[in-house]
Chain A
Amino acid sequence: MKDKEFEPIIGLEIHVELKTKSKMFCGCSADYFSHKPNTHCCPVCLGLPGALPVPNKKAVEWCIKLGLALNCKIPLFSKFDRKNYFYPDLPKGYQISQYDRPFCVNGWLDIKSQIPNSKRIRIRRVHMEEDTGKLIHANINGKKCTLIDFNRSGIPLVEIVTEPDIRSSEDAKIFLKQLYQIIRYLDISDADMEKGSMRLEPNISVRVKSQKFLRLPFSQIQDKRSGQAKIKSNNELLDNNDLPNYKVEVKNINSFNFVKKAIDFEINRQLEILVNGGVPKQETRGWDDKKNITYPQRSKEEAHDYRYFPEPDIPPVRWTTNQILNIKDQIPELPYKKIDRFIRNFQISQYDAMILTDDIKTANYFEECVILINRFGKKSEISPKIIANNIINKKVNINKNTPAEIMNIIEKKAEKFHVDDKELEQIINKLIKQYPKAVKEYKTGKTGVLMFLIGQVMKTLKGKGDALVIRKFLEKALQ
């Protein structure tokens, strides 16, 4: 009953550390993980007096690249802004980020959801910022203290923000998996959640479907900064119009499963409040992965006023259409396109295509093998499907062998398993006679019995032969 009346509204914010050689605004090495604290620092990332930021061109290009892969528009004018707030891990007292002119806007990603087949999640923005230092709470000589490691300070960070288009924790997980895959394809980040190089923040609220009392008239849609009503595009207006007037943000989660759990926990927590006639509080919550619960961190009243303003130390960025096209050219074929092409060109199943394209290395490896088919030719028994099976079932080690070596292995295996057509026909004819009942059942439409017959053929062949070929011959013989 609940499900019919209520519906979760979910948006995601994702932070991804880029694996550029140097940091976002200085020349320090960005390879900071597990290095000795405060060894990858300079006046710039320590925020020393007089130091100035110089943007990392590669990082900016990678941000654009990700935006393009997520079907974003790239405005030809963009700029950096300062986000002012105090925290001991933020040495300048402000974070260089992007406020109203992000590098990428208005994109989308189609996710392979369960219902219906695919669903479009809109991407609001993809922008560039810098990471903060890291606080380490330690006990030194029996005294509790907090240490700061600035190695992470100034690591390039991309933030991806979706529209609140996600309606289930499962879809959120699917979206994140696909996003992760794209990031890996672009080779711009390790997106290693355990190391914190991909950090996830779901925004969750629950909407009452039928009732209007939670609806927010557009005049009350508040601009984040000015607190003044702000009318945006018609589309956005309509969407926002239907949104609950509160949302709960869960901060810094480091696994897809925890995101799913946190969302489910929140939906239930909020539902309970709503069912009892209340409205959940707008707040930021944390995720406790031991207790599997979210807990309050900061309420709306305690929200920061970040006093964003244009970063005066960095000139605005102006792109030419050609520059954007050049970046676009560097984007490899992305997973969803690759899946379609593999199915179309190689006659493999969607399931196989998805597994093969899971990471770009396997996908490329597979294709290199397929190209070699002709070379191994003489109407080779080796089909892309056979290669796919070998790779998927890990019968071959793609980390150890070259595609040519693997093709040799598969070829030899195929020879070993090769069955002469005539021999096969003879065996089939014999079996048809041996199992008249099964043949009769097949002819009355119980095609399931075919599997039994294939099994019998293979048994006779002592494991030789290809199931697909056997099936083809069997079908022919049974007609």
Chain B
Amino acid sequence: MLLDKTIEELSTGLKQKLFSIEELVQECYENIQKYNPKLNAFITIINKKEALRNAREKDKNISRATSKLYGIPFLLKDAYITKGIKTTAASFVLKNYIPQYNATVYQKLLDAGAILLGKMNMDAWGHGGSSENTDFGPVRNPWDLTRVAGGSSGGPAAAISSRMAVFAIGEDTGGSIRNPAAWCNITGLKVTYGRVSRYGTIAYASSFDTVGPMAKSVGDCAQVLEVIAGKDMYDATSSSKNVPRYSELIDSPVENLILGIPKEFFQEGLNTEIKNCILNSTKIFEKSKIKIKHISMPMFDYGLPVYYLIGPSETSSNLARYDGIRYGQKRKEFTSETVRRIMIGTYALSSGYYDAYYKKAQKARTLFIKEYDKALSECDVLLMPVTPTPPTKIGELMTDPLQNLLADVYTVSQNPVGVPSLAIPCGFTKNGLPIGMQLVGSMFSEDLLLRVGHIYQKATDWHKKYPKLEG
């Protein structure tokens, strides 16, 4: 199957005309047609004929291709604005919304020659960790259809896991790339805040939102990041820091790097199978002469409160524009989970409560920044779980909002700090459900995370496994 190949292999093969873009796109549509009805990963599938026509056009010009992503089929979480293509953020509030412009990340991929095949299902507005809080029906986990795919970027994760396209662009505000990547057995990168432009991303929490790649491997994520990263004149929070050649740097040596294991992330509440699986992976790192160091990050417990005050505060303001007047749908279309977040945020910002909630959370955020600074001055990379449990049963989290919040416990503290994190597959439970771990580094250390992740994937083949969905 062409879709098992890495971006590097595909790009080379296309150039050498061992196969065509048309064949590659054709294969994607075959898988989409076979698996999507089971998974419900898509909100919008791009017209097949159109995509194939596009592919044939690109095949003609393959010799002139400059980008490795030329002719590579990809998917976007439906939070990205696409001109002329329905964009909903998985909410009926934007049921029939056709945007007038392109998100920067989408435009960059188009410019590179990549081919969009669909807009993916997710938790509405990014509000959730299971892709059940969607008006388009829950996304199902390809490894067990009775379970969730994770969220909020569940659609992209399920689709990449089942080989419906080569890569996807997810969006991570508190784990939204890493959580579904871990539960669907793919690789996902939450970039440093400001590394990739947010222009054209339907905002959840503006100071946490990050745009990142989801793919089969660390190498593929590096290829995509190289194209989408960089300063954007349309996003004042995007960084002008130089974009390294990530895909070339992933083979750089890792000897003597220090991998920190913060004990608070491996205590009560973490599923034993997941814990043992992740701690076992340290052996692989040690073989590559990476040193292991046990550290402490006592702020851990405050991660969820900080995230669930600032996130909803910002979302309450960000969603104010969907006032029932301009986008054709009434506000009653907001789901109860979204209404809950709007209410919490409105409350936290209100006169008389601001100091006690929003402001206090911002102060705690500063403490988190200091704590991560300290940990990352002692270690180069931190190793942490992504999710406390394996994928939950469909409906389980939706009936228990508090449990729903707890699913994010390991991934919410990196976003307020801004640091990057790479989620990679590291094994399976005895029931055959994927387990992921995350590598966290200091600001703009994506190259380092990718290097360490790549070493791990060279030594293991967890990331090469994919679900059996036939029959």
Contacts and interface: CB of A to CB of B under 8 A. Distances in A.
Interface residues of A, number: 30
Interface stretch (B3-11, B202-210, B296-304): B202-210
Given A88-B325, A309-B313, A312-B314, A52 B198 contact: yes
B202 A314 contact: no
A383 B313 CA distance: 68
A340 B320 CA distance: 53
Contacts of A51: 101, 199-200
Given A50-B202, A52-B199, A226-B352, A82 B235 contact: no
A48 B100 contact: yes
Contacts of A91: 321, 326
Interface in B298-323: 313-314, 316-317, 319-321, 323
Contact of B323 (A93, A228, A309, A313): A93
Interface string B223-258: 000000000011111000000000000000000000
A272 B320 CA distance: 43
Contacts of A54: 233-236
B351 A53 contact: no
B349 A52 contact: no
Nearest to A225: B351
B206 A49 contact: no
Given A48-B101, A49-B97, A314 B236 contact: yes
B348 to A, nearest CB: 9
Contact of A312 (B94, B199, B206, B325): B206
A93 B324 CA distance: 12
Interface string A75-93: 0000000101010100111
B134 interface: no
A375 to B, nearest CB: 51
B428 interface: no
A196 interface: no
A228 B103 contact: no
A52 B323 contact: no
A305 interface: yes
Interface in A121-142: none
Nearest to B103: A50
A93 B354 CA distance: 19
Given A307-B346, A309-B349, A313-B237, A50 B203 contact: yes
A286 interface: no
Nearest to A26: B234
Most buried by A among B97, B203, B236, B313: B236
A49 B87 contact: yes
A332 interface: no
B237 A314 contact: yes
Contact of B236 (A226, A308, A315): A315
A312 B349 CA distance: 14
A318 to B, nearest CB: 14
A43 B80 CA distance: 14
B317 A307 contact: yes
Contacts of A82: 317
Interface in B377-400: none
Contacts of B235: 52, 54
B100 A86 contact: no
Contacts of B101: 43, 48, 51
Given A52-B198, A225-B354, A93 B99 contact: no
Nearest to B88: A49
B236 A49 contact: no
A93 B321 contact: yes
Interface in B29-49: none
Contacts of A226: 351-352, 354-355
Contacts of B206: 312-313
Given A84-B317, A94-B317, A309 B358 contact: yes
Contacts of B409: none
A314 B237 CA distance: 6
A93 B351 CA distance: 18
B61 interface: no
A278 interface: no
Interface string A33-57: 0000000000100011111111100
B75 interface: no
B351 A52 contact: no
Given A227-B352, A305-B350, A49 B317 contact: no
Most buried by B among A88, A227, A309: A309
A314 B207 CA distance: 9
A273 to B, nearest CB: 28
A228 B352 contact: yes
B92 to A, nearest CB: 14
Interface string B277-290: 00000000000000
B112 to A, nearest CB: 20
Contacts of B89: 49
A52 B326 CA distance: 18
Contacts of A313: 206, 236-237
Given A94-B317, A228-B352, A307-B317, A49 B323 contact: no
B414 interface: no
Most buried by A among B80, B89, B316, B317: B317
B314 A49 contact: no
B124 interface: no
25 contacts: A43-B101, A48-B100, A49-B94, A49-B97, A49-B99, A50-B202, A50-B203, A51-B200, A54-B234, A91-B321, A93-B323, A94-B317, A226-B354, A228-B352, A305-B350, A305-B351, A308-B349, A309-B313, A309-B349, A312-B206, A312-B207, A312-B314, A313-B206, A313-B237, A315-B236
Q: Please list the 6 inter-chain residue pairs (A to B) with the smallest Cβ-Cβ separation, ordered nearest first.
A: A93-B320, A312-B207, A312-B206, A307-B349, A50-B200, A50-B81
Given A43-B101, A50-B80, A50-B99, 6 more contacts: A49-B203, A50-B200, A50-B201, A52-B235, A307-B349, A312-B206
